[in-house]
Each structure stands twice: as structure tokens, then as C-alpha cells.
Amino acid sequence: MSNLFNQKIMILRAPSLGATRDPFDGPGASPGLESTAQNIAERAVSMTVERDENPSGSTLNALRNDPTVLGFAPAMPMKLIEPFDADTAPSAAATWGVKAVGAHTSPFSGAGVTVAVLDTGIAANHPAFAGVNLVTKDFTGAGSAEDDNGHGTHCAGTIFGRDISGQRIGVAPGVQKAVIGKVLGGPNGGSSDILASAMLWAADNGAHVISMSLGIDFPGWVDELVKVHGLSIPAATSIALEGYRANVRLFEQLANLLNARASVAQTTIVVAAAGNESERTGNPAYEINVAPPAAAFGITSVAALADGGGGLTVAPFSNTMATVAGPAVGVFSAWLNGGTKTISGTSMATPHVAGVAALWAERLLAQGPLSPVLLQAKLIASGTFKPLKAGTDPVDVGAGLIQAPTNAN
């Protein structure tokens, strides 16, 4: 990894708990598979995200050789996956998204499940969040996790919001505890190292599901390298791509370790927006693959669906190669100052999937200990193509539109 511009790096670190050699390496070489797995889980629980503002070449080499370092990458700018305004207003007892995922008829409500939203914060006094224990933290230097944008409030409303004037907006309105990290906005927000720290904080505060409607700002970083550092566009693109790959690897490692710690802590899965960079109806038309952090293996990426005649369709802005899909166009939810707003985007699809994940978590917790592998598998396996327009490409929607659990499944 190059360090031409004294770029801040994030370091994923966990203390070494002793050698975990291959159990078949000879007599007495290893404590065995079960003990090794326990060591990995305990190490994962104690992992931290550190920062180095100006690492030298010798520092980078030392990190590569440090057994406590699980990975490191440049801190790249993050941005809100900007939604699109929509004019559609709800006209039924539940929003179309809540009904599309089957939450309105599910016997589960998310009770006993903790959900995290890492976004622009939350309008904590909104009536939609009355009675919810909100554990908040500001990672941006704004001074509080209060939402000054509206995006985080909208996403939280879709996941666990209470009814507004008889209108159901929340997929999992039985959630009693929510962990809210403000990672966008403020003087210091919008960086991948902040997001990684917030993910660990959310897991440490009991989150079973982490919802993230944001992405790495690759074009923005290229632009900065060109305008601020004076690089040519080819050179800036190459350096940004190197950082992009390193970030994907680090978020993959982070997701894997969150899974590993489930044996000694609560299960945590991560759901993230695929991104809105595609132009499927443009001239020329084009599709962009899932953007990081959703592109990292182990994170459930979410594509966007629109409600239309002849079945649900892929939204024209939705990125491709997602894991699953969710309702995303004309989504009505909570907004600032006790209000509501209808907007569209993969940002809106993601909280639908996070809410359904909370319903599945409640369903599985009733049967015994919750496994991250089983929870993610159930969530993905719930996907269906039945409501989708005939001929929908699986590459665009993954397993399809996720569905809430019933007593029968």
C-alpha cells in the first residue's frame, strides 16, 4: 500500500492469545480445533480499530509483520448514499414496503432484538421512536448523535419506527433497543475508519443487526488526489483503487471476525446498501457493481425495487451483484422535526432488509442460541422472485425480495 500523501490509515488489531497452529501439525502442536476456535472468538471480541495519521514506510512494514494486526487500509472518504425525492404518499394502514416483505402479517415484531443504524444520527424525540431505548454515540465531532440531515431518521423509522397517525412505517416495531452511531456529517464524519470503529462499537453494545446506508466515495477520493495533490487522473485512479481494494479486504476481515465472536458474544450481522450509481435508463445505459462496504464478503448487500404494474422492478439507479433486494422507491418514513418524508434509494431498501433480519433473529432466538451463519442464511433464503416482474435478472437482485418469517417457516 502506497503512502505518498501522508494519508491516515486504519488498523484492525486484536491481541494474540498464543499460537493457534494446525491441529494436525504433530503431537502436542495444538490445543485442538475447538480450543483454536475459542481463541479466535476471544481474540475477535477484543479487536480494536486504531489510526495512524502519518505512517512511515518502516511503520507500514512493522504492521505487516505484527501478529496482532489483522489488517490495515487507508482511511477513505465515505458518503451518504443520497436518496431521491418521491411524490408518492401512503394510502393504506401499512406502507407498501412493510407489506411487500410480509412484515404486516408476520407474528414477529423484533422483540428482544437490538438493531444498530450507522448513518447521520437520529431525531431522538420523534414520536416514531417513543419508548425505544436509544443508545447513541457521535463519531463525527458534532457533539451529539442528533440528526441534522434526516436520512438516518428515515432509515431508523423503516426498521423499528412506531406507527405514525395510524400508518405503519416500521418493519420491526417491537424492537426495544436501538444503537445509533452518527458517522456522517459533523466536522470529522464520513471516513471509513470512523465506520469501522462504529461497527465494533455497535457490536459491543449488543447489536444483532447493523444497518448501513452509505458507501466509500471513490470518485471523491480520486478528485481530491487530482485537485489537492496535483496527480494526473490515471495516477490518482490507480492509487485510489489500491485503497479501495485494501478497504474491501479490511471490511471483509471485520465482518468475518464479527461472525467469529458469536460463540462468546451475541450474533451480529451487517446489512449495507448496494449503491445508487447505476443509470439503467440512461443514454448510454450502464450498471455499476455493488459499492463498498457492501461489496465486502460477509456483508449482506441490498438492491432496490420499485412497485409497479406487472410486478416489482429493479430501480433504475440500483447497483448490480447484490445479495438480496428490498423495497426502495417511494418509501414513506420518519423525518426531522417530528415529520415524515417519502424518498427512494438503496438506502431505503437496506433498512427493510435490516428490519426483516430483526424479525428472523427473534424467530431463531426463540429456538435457542443465535448463529450468525444461520441468521444470514435464513435471511437470504427468504428471498423470493414471485412478486418480481417476469424476466428479472438474478444478477440484479440476488436471492430476490426478502420475506418476513411466519410460524410455518
Which residues are designated catalytic?
119, 151, 347
Q: Is 83 helix (H, G, I), strand (E, B) or coil?
A: coil
The continuous run of DSSP H or E covering 271 comes out as: strand 269-273
Task: Report which of 233, 91, 116, 249 is spatially closest to residue 172, judged by C-alpha positions.
Answer: 116
Helix (H), strand (E) at residue 12: strand 9-13
Question: Contact at 8 Å (CB) between 202 and 143?
Answer: no
CA distance 224 to 308: 40
CA max distance for the chain: 70
d(CA 96, CA 312): 11
Q: Would you state the cell numbers that stand for residue 275, as one nine-digit string?
A: 449503491
**Bridge partners of residue 342, in order along the sequence:** 332
C-alpha 115: how far from its chain's center? 11
Task: Map residue 158 onto helix, strand or coil.
Answer: helix
Nearest to 293 by CA among 274, 279, 276, 277: 274
Work out the number of other CB atoms within 10 angstroms of the CB of residue 318.
32
In angstroms, what CA-CA distances link 390 with 304, 309, 314, 327? Answer: 16, 11, 11, 17
Closest CA to 205 of 213, 197, 217: 197
Cα 150 from chain centre: 18
Task: List C-alpha distances in Å: 133 to 2, 113, 179.
Answer: 44, 12, 8
CB 358 within 8 A of CB 208: yes
Torsion sign across C-alpha atoms 120, 125, 129, 132: positive
